[in-house]
Amino acid sequence: MRVDVLAVGTELLLGQIIDTNSSWLGEHLAMHGLHSLSQVKVGDNIDRIVGHMERMLGEADAVIVCGGLGPTHDDLTREAIARVMGVDLHLDTDVADVIRHLFSSRGRTMPENNLRQAMVPAGATIIEQTRGTAPGLICPVDRVDGLTGVLYAVPGVPHEMRDMFHRAIAPDLLRRAGRSATIVSRTLRTWGESESGLDERLRGVITELDDVGNPTLAFLASGWEGLKVRLTAAGDDAGHASAVLAPWEQRIRDILGDQIFGTDEQTMESVVLDLLADRGWTLAVAESVTGGLVAGRLTAVPGASRVFRGGLVSYASEVKFDLLGVAPGPVVTADAAEAMAVGVCDRLGSDVGVALTGVAGPESQDGEGPGTLFVGIALPDTEGRRVRSIRLRMPGDRDMMRQLSVISALDFLRRDLLAHG
């Protein structure tokens, strides 16, 4: 079954808002075994919205329309769908009562234009709102080929759209597709190799999967979230689908080894915190080039306080010298990174220290060009303390270099923890 996506809003075309909804829908449609072959953005013009809906329904079985369900004059998705369906809009009193209650429960007076969100095309089914004021819509449409297509309308607010997709749209799509199969996905998160490198190493598995057809494999490069290898299997139920998926997951694990740092919702920082917690060790970080990004990622993990003591942003060289005990001189060096790691342990009273120093650009520093990263780590050892460092080259612009430095530094610590038990 083909399901395409239409994102509505002039702000998307102007770049004022990034269209993350379409990419999210594409990923989750694929996870359900549904094909999305076209994703389009259109501004707030009813004739253009109608034209795109009609053209897309000429090729796809269903179209998910994101945005344009608000209360203002430029929210035109409801009117466009009614025109495509050839029906009138009517006030749904139940939806109107829900909207009034949402305002009154917050102690606010409802502007009358909010009742536009209770206008529903005749023949459409409501997707009840649980997180906002705008309901979603399921709208059957007679296509020119005599078949029945369907338009799904959801709010453009990402968390509202995702809730409606999981709660109503995905189940309805699978019912229309005549599929009772359960879909199970497993995402293996990797770091240390390029997407092309992973593809080359997994070429044999990929070729076999192409022949088998179930499960399927896809790569998803996700910046400092890692490079994801996603397996998706269909089965009669969750147990069957998991059994289909399991041997292929193991084959990939056998090939990639410790490049796989986590599974599904795990992150590099959550994995590192768990490894340290298992050992009863605390962690502190000293950051120069990343300016606090490592500490930010660590503290975003629930329960990080059981391990994470804190961090020092030692951006100026004098701070490295005065607070962390770095010897005066060049600071973008392996020696400086190691001294920073030891220094932050001593300053914050932690068992383990991680330090990052480097050059994000655009200028060079201490003889090192943009993209250079030195990571230092200090860990407990039988002889007191083990100190190590590594020099890495990060690709991309300033922002990318800093973000990739975070996951690379934590991965260096992860591998050391695994190697030394």
**SS3 of 257-326:** HHHEEEECCCCHHHHHHHHHHHHCCCEEEEECCCCCHHHHHHHCCCCHHHCEEEEEECCCHHHHHHHHCC
CATH number of 268-419: 3.90.950.20
How far apart CA 337 and CA 221 sit, in angstroms, is 28
Helix (H) or strand (E) holding 99: helix 93-105
How far apart CA 364 and CA 375 sit, in angstroms, is 18
Contact 227, 193 (CB under 8 A): yes
pLDDT of amino acid 242: 93
pLDDT of amino acid 162: 95
Coil vs helix vs strand at 385:
strand
- Are domains 3-176 and 182-263 of this chain identical in fold? no
Under CATH, which architecture does the 182-263 domain have?
Answer: 2-Layer Sandwich (3.30)
How far apart CA 116 and CA 1 sit, in angstroms, is 32
Under CATH, which architecture does the 3-176 domain have?
Answer: 3-Layer(aba) Sandwich (3.40)
Six-digit token pair at 83?
A: 């025109």
Contact 52, 198 (CB under 8 A): no
Q: Tally the C-alpha atoms within 13 A of residue 107's C-alpha that lie toward its C-beta.
A: 0
Six-digit token pair at 387?
A: 């100190």
Q: Domain residue spans in the chain?
A: 3-176, 182-263, 268-419
Strands 89-91, 119-121: parallel, antiparallel or unpaired by DSSP? antiparallel
How far apart CA 226 and CA 188 sit, in angstroms, is 9
Determine how many CB atoms are found less than 10 A away from the CB of residue 197.
13
Burial of 41 (0-12, 13-18, 19+ CB in 10 A): middle
Would you give per-residue pLDDT tens digits along the chain (421 residues)? 899 999 999 999 999 999 999 999 998 888 787 889 999 999 999 999 999 999 999 999 999 999 999 898 889 999 999 999 999 999 999 988 888 888 888 888 888 888 889 999 999 999 998 888 889 999 999 876 767 899 999 999 999 999 999 999 999 998 888 866 678 889 999 999 888 999 999 999 999 999 998 998 988 888 899 999 999 888 888 899 999 999 999 999 999 999 999 999 999 999 999 999 999 999 999 999 999 999 999 999 999 999 999 999 999 999 999 999 999 999 999 999 999 999 999 999 999 999 999 999 899 999 999 999 999 999 999 888 999 999 999 999 999 999 999 999 999 999 999 998 7
φ/ψ of residue 50, rounded to 5: -60, -45
Strands of the sheet containing 283-287, edge to edge, are 308-313, 283-287, 352-358, 372-381, 384-393
pLDDT of amino acid 30: 82
How far apart CA 421 and CA 416 sit, in angstroms, is 9
Is the preceding peptide bond at 247 cis, omega within 30 degrees of 0?
no
Distance set, CA 144 to CA 25, 55, 57, 65, 283 (Å):
26, 11, 9, 20, 64
How far apart CA 379 and CA 405 sit, in angstroms, is 20
How far apart CA 137 and CA 69 sit, in angstroms, is 10
CB proximity list for 339: less than 8 A, separation 6 or greater: 320, 324, 325, 326, 327, 355, 376
